[in-house]
Every structure is written in structure tokens, then in C-alpha cells.
Structure 1
Amino acid sequence: MSPMILPEELLVEILSWVPVKDLLRFRCVAKWLRALISDPTFVKLHLLHMSSRNAHILLTFYDKHYPGDKYSAPRRYCAPCSVHALLHNPSSTIEGFRPFDINVYRVLGVCNGLVCLLVSYRYSHSDFDEFWVRFWNPATRVISDDSPRVYLHNDRPRRYKRYMFGFGYDEWSDTYQAVVLDNNKPQNLEVRVHCMGHTGWKSTLTTTCPAFPILSQDGASVRGTVNWLALPNSSSDYQWETVTIDDLVIFSYDLKNESYRYLLMPDGLLEVPHSPPELVVLKGCLCLSHRHGGNHFGFWLMKEFGVEKSWTRFLNISYDQLHIHGGFLDHPVILCMSEDDGVVLLENGGHGKFILYNKRDNTIECYGELDKGRFQFLSYDYAQSFVMPY
């Protein structure tokens, strides 16, 4: 009996569902396999299928006690992590973590399996700070060289941050872009962009409005935009206690059109939280988390990006119900959720306890605590890909 030969189209379809780790082993079998996984069409098809599975997140955390010396700087890590493992056995998953060490970097964001890492250098006797980025694919373990430097003025002391960064993907031009908002000039707000593979940073937008406080340090990337919380009608000496809900907006920068617009807060958010809310992206949706009413945690999802009426309250739960009994600054972080949004895994603001909340039956499970105060967790949407970081 002669061996069965599959049509090429069917073979490509089958291979596009295979995880990156396995395909990397397969490429040693034949030259055509090596060529296939480098083909741009296959890379996009494979990413589409991996994204549809939503099987992983990229988990980052700070180990404040490494290497045990209280005078040492926190060590930062990040690595892909199984959603199933985190939902069902979070403590064991974290304790067995052997991540990639990114101690000299800060994660700006994740798009299509690529991670953007920020490096900074502050000169003690200069009016400028120096920044650059690198792009990293955790699945293939390929990391780019340093990008060109960008120098930002630092001599104007303010209560709010002078420059904010973000990372996004423009599908129209098929470019991955690191973005910086330069908020240092009093007369305008300038946006600079570095496209992966290009030789410099370019100024894409200079607004005619005065600079204003932007509350998010790193922008949240959704559908070709990067988004920050902002107070466009406030001055540098604003007091949070005087901010109204109408003052608080989302500054949304469009990568394709090199333009911006403001998005409003959810209609159901009637009062300004005790501290600035946080913007994150979860399952492809822009999300807003905040503390309110003294001891409640609220979480909103914008189901259809850019449509303000699509804001949906996803969680509104008391800290007592979540078994969080810390101080005022404790703030839960949603790490991941089940495919049907019924089960949510939270971490209680750096206190080392994982909380599994089942929305369907309103039950809570708390998992064994890690060292209290040792870890600070964040997570990002992540899909394995063959996208090359250059």
C-alpha cells in the first residue's frame, strides 16, 4: 500500500493548529517545513488559530525579595502561562515558574505574541532621559537588537508623569509600534512613534492643546489604538479630591490615522473612585478597574471598542466578599477568566493570595498565600506566534 499524501492546502491547515514549540522541532525534518513557518501567510494563519484558543496569558511579576537582600532592587520576570493552570492551580503554577529574566526591562505591552520591552537611562547631570525598546517573541525565544534611542526632556517637575509609553499593532500597515506621549512641553502634547524594523523615532502628532495630566503609565492596546487615562481639562497642580467624573476620560491614539480622540467613562460610574482607576486589556476588550464606596472593587468591559454605550459592568464586589482585609492601597488584579467569563482569577494587590471567583454561583475560593508583599502580578493577553521581532 502506497503512503497517503495529503493535499498541500490541508497539510498547511493542520500545521497551523500546531503549537509553536512542536513546529520548531518539525522544522529540522525538512527544508520545506522550515520555509513554511517563515512564510508570512502561514504566520498570520497560525496566529489566527492560536488567538482563537485563548489558552495562555503573559504573566509578569516582581520578586521584591530576590536575592534575599533587603537593599537589592526588585527582580522582574515574565513568561507565557497556561490559563487552565492558573485558574485551577495558581499557587503551584507560580511556585514552579521558571520565567525569562527581564530585570533591566519594563514590559510595555503584548501584541500578536510579541512583547515590547522598555529600557531607560537617567543621567544625573543632564536635562534629558534616554529610552529605547526591544521586541521579544517568548515562543521562539528571539529578541531584537536595541531600537534607536529617544531623548526626552526631564527638567520640569510636575505632580504627573512627563512621558508615557505604549505598544500597539496597526493591521492596515502591518507594523508594530512603540509609542511615547511627550507631555513635557507646556503648550502642547507630542506623540512619537518607533515602528519595529525602522531606523528612528518620528513625531506623528502634536496637539494644539496644552499638556495635561495623564494618569496611566503604560497605554492599553486595543484594535489599532493605544489608550491612557487622562484629565484634559486639569492643570499640573490638580487635586484628585476635586476631580469630577466628567473630567476623567480615556485618551485614545489611533496608530493608523495618527490621530486621537477622547472616550468617556461608563454611564454607570457615577462617582470618582478614591484613587485613579486602571486601564487593562482582557480577552481583547478595553477594561477599567477601580475601587469605590470604600471597600468595593468594580470592573468594566467595553464590549465594542470605541462605542461608549457598550461599557458593561463585569464585577461589583466587596473586599470582604473577596476576603481582602488589607489597607487602603490594596487593589485586586484580574489575571484571567474562563472562556465563558464565569470564573475569574484575581490576585489581591501584592499580598500573595489568589482568589478564584465563580460568578455563576457567587462562590469564592482562596488559594495558599505566597510570601506576603513579595510579588506584584500583572497579566496580558497572549497568543503563541511566529511573528519575528524585527
Structure 2
Amino acid sequence: MSKFPFDVLTDTFYRLPVKTLLRFRALSKPFCSLIDRPDFIKNHLKYSLSTKSNLVLILKGLHLYTADLDSLDEATPFSDDHPESIWGGTEVFGSCNGLLALSNSDQDIVLFNPSTRKLFNLPVELIERPNDSCIRGFVFFGFGYDHVNDDYKVVRMVRFKQDEDDNNGWFSEYEVKVFSLKTSSWRRIKKLPNYLSFMFQFYFHLMHRRGYGVYVCGVLHWVLPRRPELGVSNLIVAFDLVAEEFKVLPQPDYGDNERDFVLDVGVLEGRLCVILNYDQVKVDVWMMKEYGVKETWSKLFSIERSKSISSFRFLKPLAYLKECGDGDDSEKILLDVNGEKLVWYEWKRKRLKTVRIKGAPDSFGAFMCVESLIPLIDEKKQQKQEKNRNHYRKKRDDFLSKGFKLVL
């Protein structure tokens, strides 16, 4: 192997799945050193994203399950080697670059790499009430990547209310905090826009992704649903993870039908989508081809209720696939319907095909995840901390052995 060109070896390794690379780490020190290099980890991820390889579907039921996107034939649970911090009540609120963001409660938050089985527990950050009369209400979460600072961030928005029975969110107060994995610390966002006061709507955020932000292009997105009683129209609320500021994203020109649908957001092929649900009977999906540019919104497809789908309580685009062969090209999208069924939809032919995955839970949350080697902690920092701990233990043991020597 010493005579094998290093650049050819590296280029070959970029094409290998994570499980194979993890096994190769044990073959030799040069292999281990190469695979652990930060630039190799980033380029391996970049190759996987550009070629749409190493993609897996994460299903969250009673446990976490994975299914290979290329086959979708069987769901494999993590139950045999679950970290202790992941259990049946754990929610998945984000997926980015091979990392999953999980919550056991409002303050018990975990980042997890399912490919390497590495896990990081975020430091507990208490929720601060604006005043003694405020009651903690709904909590919004989001997770994504700050590409400028090479940092992964968790956003937690807590909505407070004055009355226990107030589920409508009348002029609510908010606390917004951001966790930085790079600094392993939380900071509070003090500059909050007025429209956040109208953001919460009980039934909408209970049904639509439970208020979890959608990550696209370094920005997290939530929907502020239409509130006709307050004169508030549908808004796409965006939080820039680099600037750590809120903004409102432009929407397509829907025409005269804006009052006839419920709006939601999603992501497909790394691009932002809006999902228009017309009374659970019909759904339109639009895509923003160039992020932030209103003129690049285009209607992707429409899908109507059928015999196999009685209603659209919820629809989420997951993955796009183009198949070529024998002069018969087909383009189809994997959809999560109502958190109960996965279907491939060929929008040009308007055909639906139910996906049956052996071992999958009956109801689930579905997330796309790319397998990656992204670490959750700085290995050098971890080694230094371990060295300091070992040094401390040795000094302690030496002190105890000398200080408490028995004299016979």
C-alpha cells in the first residue's frame, strides 16, 4: 500500500460507505489517520451529498429505525445498541449532515450520529420566565449548520402564556436561545421581531411537525399560520444561523386561493418547499429553486385524494429519484403521508405506489439522513481532557498512597 498513490487512495475512500471506513480505521495507523482528518471527513460528506449516495431514511416510532433509501425493504431498529440518552419518548426534531437532533424534554437535548453511534448531551439550559405570572407553553426546536463558522447549532424557542387555558397564542412572549456545538454554550437572542407574538397556533403546530424547524441553506424555517381574527396572513419565519437573526421569506404568488389552504414548509433536494393543503383533499407542492429569490418559486406538482389515501392530514416530501432505462424515464418523489404511510409518487403520470418496509412502525416521524463521519466533539480536545483527568487521578492516587501509609 505504501506504493499506492495517496491521492488515488483518498479519492477511492471518498466513495466508500461510513461502515466500511470505520472498519478500515482498524487496519493501519495511516488509514486511521487519513479517515480521521477533518478535511477528509468534510470531503467525504461533500461527495455523498453531491452524488446522493449513503442516504438512509430515519423512522421514529417507539424506537429509532433506519432503512436504506436504495432498497427500502427493511427497517432496522437501534434498540440493540441504543445510547442510554435515547429512549421511547425521544423526539427527532432535526437532521443535518448525518447528525440527528433529539429531545427527551425541553431541557434534555442530544445530538447523535447514527452512523458512528457517537452522542453528545447538550448542557442543561434552564428556561427563564419573563415574570412570575407567565406559564411555559409551547416549545419550538430547530437544528442546522452554520457554514461560515463551521458550527452546528440548536435553536430553542419557548412560548409563554398568561393563562393555562390560552392555547391560541394571543400576543405571547418568547424566549429564544441558540446552542453552539463549537463553543458548547448557549446564548440568548434578545432582538425578537413583533410577529413572533402571533406565531403559535395550537392545532397547527400539534399536527405539522410539532413546531420543528426546516433547515435549508443555513437557515431554519417555521410557519406562522394565518390568523384572520388578528389580520395576520401566512408567513414563513426564517432564522439565519450565521447572523442569528429572524426574517420573513418571500412566498410564491398563489393568486386568489390564499385563504383556501393550510400552509406548511418542507425540504427536497436541499431546496425549500411549501406545501398547500386544501381541506385535506388536495395538496400543491412548490419549490424555491434559488434560495431567497421570490421569482424562482415554481409549482412542482399537485396530488389529490385517492382510494389508497383517504385524506391528507399531513404531507411531507422526503426524497427525489430519477430512473432511466429502456427509453422510459420516470421521476418520482418519496412522500410521508399522515405519518402513517410512505408512497412513491410519479407526478408526470400521477401514479402512487405504497412503500412497504418490513419491520417499520405503524406510525412514525420520517427524516432523511446522509451517513457521515462528522464528529460531535473535538478529538484533540477530548484527548487533552482525558490526559488531564489521568494526570489528576495519578496525583490523587500518589497523595493517598503516601498520606495514608500505615505504620506498623
TM-score (norm 1): 0.77
Superposition deviation, residue 375 in structure 1: 1.3
Unaligned stretches of 5+ residues in structure 1: 63-74, 87-91, 121-129
Q: Would you say 1:247 and 2:246 are equivalent positions?
A: no
Instruction: Determine the C-alpha separation between the residues in 2 that align with 1:192 and 1:230.
Output: 19
- Give the residue type in structure 2 aligned to 1:34: C
Contact 2:193-2:246 within 8 A present in 1 as well: no
2:272 to 283, 286, 299: 286
Instruction: Determine the C-alpha separation between the residues in 1 that align with 2:111 and 2:356.
Output: 35
Unaligned stretches of 5+ residues in structure 2: 162-170, 206-210, 324-329, 378-408
Query: Residue 338 of structure 1 aligns with which residue?
Result: 321
Alpha-carbon spacing, 1:273–1:85, altered in 2? closer, same or farther (3 Å):
farther
Instruction: Determine the C-alpha separation between the residues in 1 that align with 2:359 and 2:149.
Output: 46
- Give the residue type in structure 2 aligned to 1:268: Y
Query: Residue 11 of structure 1 aligns with which residue?
Result: 9
Q: Would you say 1:379 and 2:367 are equivalent positions?
A: yes
Question: How many residues align structurally?
Answer: 344
More off after superposition, 367-376 vs 143-152: 367-376
Instruction: Determine the C-alpha separation between the residues in 2 that align with 1:28 and 1:181.
Output: 43
Point out the structure with max Rg over C-alpha. Answer: 2
1:29 to 14, 22, 27: 27
Partner SS state of residue 37, structure 1:
helix
Superposition deviation, residue 44 in structure 1: 0.7
- Give the residue type in structure 2 aligned to 1:5: K
Contact 2:45-2:372 within 8 A present in 1 as well: yes
Partner SS state of residue 257, structure 2:
coil
Runs of 4+ in 1 over 6 A off after TM superposition: 369-373
2:337 to 334, 343, 348: 348
Q: Would you say 1:110 and 2:95 are equivalent positions?
A: yes
> Residues 61-106 of structure 1: CA distance to partner in whole angstroms, max 9, x if unpaired?
32xxxxxxxxxxxx24243x322213xxxxx434xx3345642421
More helix by share: 2
Contact 1:248-1:265 within 8 A present in 2 as well: no
Instruction: Determine the C-alpha separation between the residues in 2 that align with 1:104 and 1:351.
Output: 18
Percent of paired sites with the same residue: 24
1:116-195 correspondence runs (5 A) = 116-120=101-105, 130-153=106-129, 156=134, 162-184=138-160, 189-195=174-180
> Residues 242-292 of structure 1: CA distance to partner in whole angstroms, max 9, x if unpaired?
587x71111111111122210133213643466743222221011222321
Q: Would you say 1:209 and 2:194 are equivalent positions?
A: yes
Superposition deviation, residue 224 in structure 1: 1.1
- Give the residue type in structure 1 aligned to 2:274: L
Instruction: Determine the C-alpha separation between the residues in 1 that align with 2:2 and 2:187.
Output: 54
Alpha-carbon spacing, 1:269–1:20, altered in 2? closer, same or farther (3 Å):
farther
Query: Residue 165 of structure 2 aligns with which residue?
Result: none
> Residues 138-176 of structure 1: CA distance to partner in whole angstroms, max 9, x if unpaired?
111111134333325496469xx6431100100110110
Contact 1:276-1:290 within 8 A present in 2 as well: yes
Instruction: Determine the C-alpha separation between the residues in 2 that align with 1:372 and 1:83.
Output: 14
Partner SS state of residue 22, structure 1:
helix
> Residues 200-250 of structure 1: CA distance to partner in whole angstroms, max 9, x if unpaired?
31013422526222455111111111111115xx8xxx56xx587x71111
